[in-house]
Amino acid sequence: MSFKPVTAYRLRLMAIKEINTMNAINPTNSGKQIGAFFDFDKTLIDVESGRVGFKYLYTIKEIRLPFLLKVAVTNFFYERDWINDSQMARVMLTFYKNRDIRPLEDGSEEFYHTHLKPHIAPKILKRVREHQEAGHTLVLVSASLRYMLKPVIQDLKFHHLLCTDLEVAGDGSLTGRTDGPICIDQHKRVAVKSLAQEKGIRLDQSYAYGNHHSDIPMLETVGNPVAVEPTSRLYQRAVQKGWPVLSFR
């Protein structure tokens, strides 16, 4: 049994459950000029993919216990907003220093189908299918890493992937740093606006789905933002702005 320290917050979500039906996709807004931007962790799936990945790597002896404990402690701080997304991500990225990306890429599809796909949130997947039926441009926008997310967009038939890339050294090994910014917070907004300009996507008519207050810049970029099982800060913003709130199921 897991302890839920935000019981009052969960009760608020239950109280607004009816909002789940209030943001139906407008059937007249169809076509690829309408974007549907989905966050991944705790939005499209109901878990943190990084946490699942590191537990898996520990079971196959690719990670030592001290590093896993460091990630667990850092995550404890992160969940309480004592550190930000970027600080959390940089701790996790140190795992990749001096590693070869190829074995990770080779195992990514099996990892997705075995460990991540079972966690896809049913109600959010239903939204993905509705957007596909309307002919919208589907975009996965995540701080997670490209090698982990490629199988996701292939399986769910997303059109584009905006995410974090790993930096590769001259000898082909990973540096433990990113190639470009970590795709969080304002960087999500910048990436979404850049893709929209390139592909002719009408952001004022588009949709975005996110769970964390760091997703607010992305959500505010579109005409139809949706909060999914939101953090307290995102919940407060959703109430202020009149944004719909969705649960996983």
CATH number at residue 109: 3.40.50.1000
Q: What is the pLDDT of residue 50?
A: 86
Q: What is the pLDDT of residue 2?
A: 34
Q: What is the pLDDT of residue 83?
A: 81
Tokens found for residue 66? 């001290």
1 in a structural domain: no
Number of structural domains, the chain? 1
16 in a structural domain: yes
68 in a structural domain: yes
- Which letter does DSSP use for residue 120 in this model? B
Q: What is the pLDDT of residue 204?
A: 97
pLDDT tens readout for residues 43-58: 999 999 988 988 888 8
pLDDT tens readout for residues 181-195: 999 999 999 999 999
Where in the sequence is the domain holding 118, given as residue range(s)? 7-246
Q: What is the pLDDT of residue 77?
A: 87
pLDDT tens readout for residues 220-231: 999 999 999 999
Using an 8 Å Cβ cutoff, are 155 and 117 in contact?
A: yes
Rounded (10°) CA dihedral 145, 208, 195, 45: 20
Give this prediction's pTM. 0.87
